[in-house]
Structure 1
Amino acid sequence: MTEHALSRRTYLKATGAAALGTTGIAGCVGRATGTLATSVTDQPADIADFESLVVTVEGIWLGPGGAESGADGNQTADEPDGTDETANETDETGGDGGEGDGEEGDDEEAAGGEGREYHAFDEPQEADLVQLQNGETQLVDERELAVGTYQFLQLDISNVEGTLEGGEAAEVDRPGEAPLTFNAAFEVREDTRTTFTADFAPIRRGNGRYLLRPVPSGIEVTYEESDESEESDGNEDPSGDTAESDGNAS
């Protein structure tokens, strides 16, 4: 990345911290719960073409939920086999950037709508992908969910505004104008904070437009036990578990 890009100020949505603190706490009364924190990041691809690329995220789809896990985080039913065929349809940049790539929303159709659950944010969250490179991430949501295994996560992106380095507006499409789907199974564990980092990037297409695609190899899921859980079992793991995904279930 150029020195000019590195010198840009770190992006931070002013209302993010206040909005996230109270999001999604209701709905899990009487059931074991854990915390899901959703973050976004950007791998290079063709992001160097942009002065800014701001996406607006309205919510997330999860699902379908699996069997509940035990308090130790071990799944109590069959493990997901992670053989979603479309998880391997894209390479590390999520596609070859061809003109017809993703126009039918094949990744989104693969995840399917049946059984998934939608969680709207209290406020739309904006993230400038130009500022989220070289390992930088931005938290867009944090909420309590029922313990279990979820097969994928989708971002409900309502708007994309891109400005190229020369100052002109960029046309940035999404696959089939559908949610961005991240085909990686993950767990919500009791008394544990699960962080799901969704990685996506713009790909330049042959018609001069850009396509926003997930980067399967960049998906990362980490687990961090709460202080209460660490004190109760006496096994403190300050770093937590980390699982990097290549687009298959982790």
Structure 2
Amino acid sequence: MVRQVRRLIALAAGMLLAAVLTGPAHAGGPARTAGPARVAVPAAPKPQPAGVDITGDRLAEPLRLRAATHPAAVVAVIDQVSWLGRTGSPSGPAARNLGPKYTVVVFAGEIATQTYDLYPLAKGGPRVYRPAKQPGPSPKAKAGWFLGRLNMSEALRTAGVPLEQQLDTVGGGVGGGERVLPDESLNPGQDLDEALSELQRLLLLNVGVMLVITLGLAGIALLIRRRTR
């Protein structure tokens, strides 16, 4: 009985020793130390192409302009609102002085991100109104009025808005937008007549002043002569 127990113990020990010795070979050799794991960095999202939608006075349907088809017009319209600060004036001109209104919605791809109301023919110069309610990821903004660029009317007209061409507005800049020169000043004949009349009045005024000065000097000289006698 004792011998059988010893044989079983010896057999179990031999099998255990064989498993230990042959284990690494079946596992493909000694284990290798794994290197540091690489962290995958997500690629930056590709910027979406810009675009604008314009609605307003005398536009039967919205103007849908995208950078792929109308790059210059999109840039010109976005330039009218891209410079606005965070705070504008709380009140704008009276409604009767604003003129036609055009709403511009700025897009990134097919997602609307910003909206503005443009008044290119406002009395005293173009105006921009930024509503507090905005589309896109930031639905709220600080409402305010801003002076618009002087070339707002031409930028919108070039984009397709039915506005009359303004040849004598100063391009770029902020503020203004009305005609820089009145219509009357564009008549050269009228300007020449007015200039000659003004010159004549100036000459007569100078002659009158010289006569007064001469008479005054003569009177003073006569008075001094009488006193010195």
Q: Could you tell me the TM-score, scaled by structure 2's length?
A: 0.29
Q: Which has the higher contact order (CA 8 A, sep 6+)?
A: 1
When Rg is computed on C-alpha atoms for both structures, the one with the higher figure is 2
Q: Could you tell me the TM-score, scaled by structure 1's length?
A: 0.27
More helix by share: 2
More strand by share: 1
